[in-house]
Amino acid sequence: MGIIDEALKKADDEGQNNNLNKLAKINTEQGVGNKIASPQELSKVRPKQKIAKKSETIKLDWDFISSQGYLTANTERLQMVEEYRTIKRPLLSNAFGTRSKGIERANLILVTSSVPGEGKTFSAINLALSIAQERDKEVLLIDADVAKPSVANALGIENTPGLIEYLESDNMDFSEVIRNTDLDGFRVVPAGDWHSYSTELLASNKMAELASELSQRYSDRIVIFDSPPLLAATQGEVLASLVGQVVLVVEAESTLQATVKETVSKLDNCDVVLALLNKTNRSFNFGSYGYGYGYGYGYGQYGH
Ligand SMILES: Nc1ncnc2c1ncn2[C@@H]1O[C@H](COP(=O)(O)OP(=O)(O)O)[C@@H](O)[C@H]1O
Ligand SMILES: [Mg+2]
């Protein structure tokens, strides 16, 4: 039994009517639907500036990216390709399908976890690549884990200017921090230079305005945020309140049930929460990585 299942069972046994129970009840793909979105205060923030699309295109080193276990066009990790297909399907369906009705900001997806190292960056990049590799799908991947930026490194691109520089600037256009890549439809915003107050910028009005802007102007494409861990600082929670869908990465076999419960309780106000079990040791592994990959679903669909 997986960690989420165990946590759910325990919560059920104890009769706790918390968020985990809600996850349990909607722990199937079929459970998606009949979504009643909660009104989000911040969605009323008015967009201010235009986000341009065009800038220079960066040629990514796909061999390097593939060598770290990411899904490139030529990947041989077919099992993982298939898993990400399964993971992204409900997310895309919520964002663009008929189900999108009623879910606010369904095109904004936050990839988070309880603690560092569970696989947020790994999952966010793979999810973004998997979606971008589909015809006609556009993805913007934003590194919002500004205290531990990793997206730029993983993709072999410059980390600055990035989200931080944009958030602290008065006159920068968001397009100035977007990197276009040679994978059609795959764009990246790195975290930028860390400094002592950079994490606070994630909770700023400007960040809320940006999310609002992205949900409106980018409503035809997916925006994936690589988030800080939820138990390490409050910024992850703030970010979760700005997006329509949350992917909670749980490191299988290592994250404690109590930890998962505490984390899930922080996502109480999120409309859609999908739990992704990472690094499962079940039936498969990927070459030199030595551990496999798995997933689980949990959809919170409830009004508030
Ligand atoms: N499913 C997986 N298969 C192989 N390697 C993984 C997997 N998930 C994470 N990793 C590796 O584990 C390490 C920690 O993951 P990372 O995504 O950086 O965690 P986080 O962003 O949550 O701190 C990284 O080296 C990453 O490449
Ligand atoms: Mg990370």
Number of domains the chain contains: 1
Ranges of the chain whose pLDDT falls below 50 = 1-4, 7-53, 282-304
Residue 166, domain member (yes or no): yes
What domain range includes position 155? 40-289
Q: What is the pLDDT of residue 102?
A: 77
Q: What is the pLDDT of residue 97?
A: 80
DSSP state of 178: P
Q: What is the pLDDT of residue 131?
A: 96
From the CB of residue 85, how many other CB atoms can be counted at a distance below 10 Å?
12
| Residues in CB range of 61: below 8 A, 6 or more apart | 156
The pTM is what?
0.79
CA distance 149 to 193: 9
User: Which stretch of DSSP H or E encloses residue 188?
Assistant: strand 186-189
CA distance 261 to 21: 10
213 C-alpha to ligand 1 centroid (Å): 30
pLDDT tens digits, one per residue of 255-268: 888 999 999 999 98
Work out which ligand 1 atom sits closest to the CA atom of 293: 1
**Phi and psi of 188, rounded to 5°?**
-135, 140
Q: What is the pLDDT of residue 295?
A: 40
Question: Residue holding tokens 């690589």?
Answer: 226
Q: What is the pLDDT of residue 99?
A: 62
143 C-alpha to ligand 2 centroid (Å): 8
CATH, residue 242: 3.40.50.300
Residue 300, domain member (yes or no): no
| CA dist list (Å): 9 to 64, 255, 278 | 41, 16, 19
Residue 17, domain member (yes or no): no
Residue of 68, 120, 121 with the most ligand 1 atoms within 8 Å of its CB, for mutation? 121
Residue 29, domain member (yes or no): no
117 lines ligand 1 (CB under 6 A): yes
Q: What is the pLDDT of residue 22?
A: 34
Residue 14, domain member (yes or no): no
**Phi and psi of 67, rounded to 5°?**
-65, -20
Q: What is the pLDDT of residue 253?
A: 80
Question: Residue holding tokens 């329509």?
Answer: 244
Residue 12, domain member (yes or no): no
Residue 96, domain member (yes or no): yes
229 C-alpha to ligand 2 centroid (Å): 9
Helix, strand, coil content of the chain in percent (nearest 5): 40, 15, 50
Residue 135, domain member (yes or no): yes
Amino acid at 175: S
117 C-alpha to ligand 2 centroid (Å): 7
Residue 231 contacts residue 105 (beta carbons within 8 Å): no
